[in-house]
A and B are shown apart, each in its own frame.
Chain A
Amino acid sequence: GAVVSQHPSRVICKSGTSVKIECRSLDFQATTMFWYRQFPKQSLMLMATSNEGSKATYEQGVEKDKFLINHASLTLSTLTVTSAHPEDSSFYICSAQRGGPGGAEAFFGQGTRLTVV
C-alpha cells in the first residue's frame, strides 16, 4: 500500500511553545489530507481537512487559530499546535486519501505523541 510518513513520532514541549507536525505522502499525490486527534482508548476525532493550495476546513469546536494547518504541496501538510497547553497533550495522526474509481483508500501516518509539560 501507499506510504504516509508523519514526523516527529514523539515530542515533549513546554507550555506556551508551538509544535509543528509534518505529514507527507511518499509515493502518491494527496490533494486532501486529514488531521485527527485520538485520546486513549477512543476513536479518531477528525479535527480538520487540509486542502492543497487553499484554507483548511475545520470541524466544529476545533480552534483554527490554535491548530494551524498548511498544505503547501500535494505531498506535504503540516499541523502547528500554537501556544500549547497540557490539555493539548494527545496523539495526533494524519491521513491521506488516494482516490480511484469507486473508492478512496486512506493511509495513515504513524502518529505523533505530543506531551505538553
Chain B
Amino acid sequence: GENVEQHPSTLSVQEGDSAVIKCTYSDSASNYFPWYKQELGKRPQLIIDIRSNVGEKKDQRIAVTLNKTAKHFSLHITETQPEDSAVYFCAALSGGNNRLAFGKGNQVVVIP
C-alpha cells in the first residue's frame, strides 16, 4: 500500500517568515494529495489539495507543489502568523484501495 513520509516532524519559524513541509510518497499511481491542519484538541481540517495533473496550487498564503517524478509534494506557508501554529498532515490517495494514507504530522510553531 501507499507509504507517506513527512519531514520535518517539528518546525519553528519566526512570525512573518515562510514555512515549508515536505512529504514523499511511494505509490506512483497515487493521484490526490490533500493537506490537513489540526489545531490542539480539534479535528483535522482540509486546507488545500492538489491532483496529479497539476504541479502547483496556491490559495492566499498557502501553496502546494507536486513533483510526480520524485514522488514528493510540499506545503508552503508564507508570511506566517501565530494562528498558523498547528499540526499539519499530508496525505496521498492510493488508487489501489481508494484510501488516504497520512504522514505522521508536522508540528509548526510560529514564534511571535
What residues of chain A have their CB less than 8 Å away from a CB belonging to chain B?
A: 1, 32, 34, 41-44, 46, 49, 93, 97, 99, 102-111
Partner pick for A43 among B34, B49, B89, B93, CB 8 A cutoff: B89
Known interface pairs A104-B93, A106-B36; 19 further A-B residue pairs with C-beta atoms within 8 A, sorted by A's residue number: A1-B46, A41-B107, A42-B104, A42-B105, A43-B89, A43-B105, A44-B102, A93-B43, A99-B98, A102-B32, A102-B51, A103-B34, A104-B98, A105-B46, A106-B34, A106-B100, A108-B36, A108-B44, A108-B45
Which chain B residues border A105 with CB–CB below 8 Å?
34, 46, 49
Chain B 48-78: CB-based contact to A (< 8 A → 1; otherwise 0): 0101110000000000000000000000000
Q: Which 9 A-B pairs have the closest CB atoms?
A: A103-B32, A108-B43, A43-B104, A43-B105, A102-B51, A110-B43, A108-B44, A44-B102, A106-B100
Which chain A residues border B36 with CB–CB below 8 Å?
106, 108
- Distance to closest chain A CB from B21 (angstroms): 13
Which chain A residues border B42 with CB–CB below 8 Å?
110-111
CB distance B51 to A44 under 8 Å? no
CB distance B43 to A109 under 8 Å? yes
- Distance to closest chain A CB from B107 (angstroms): 7
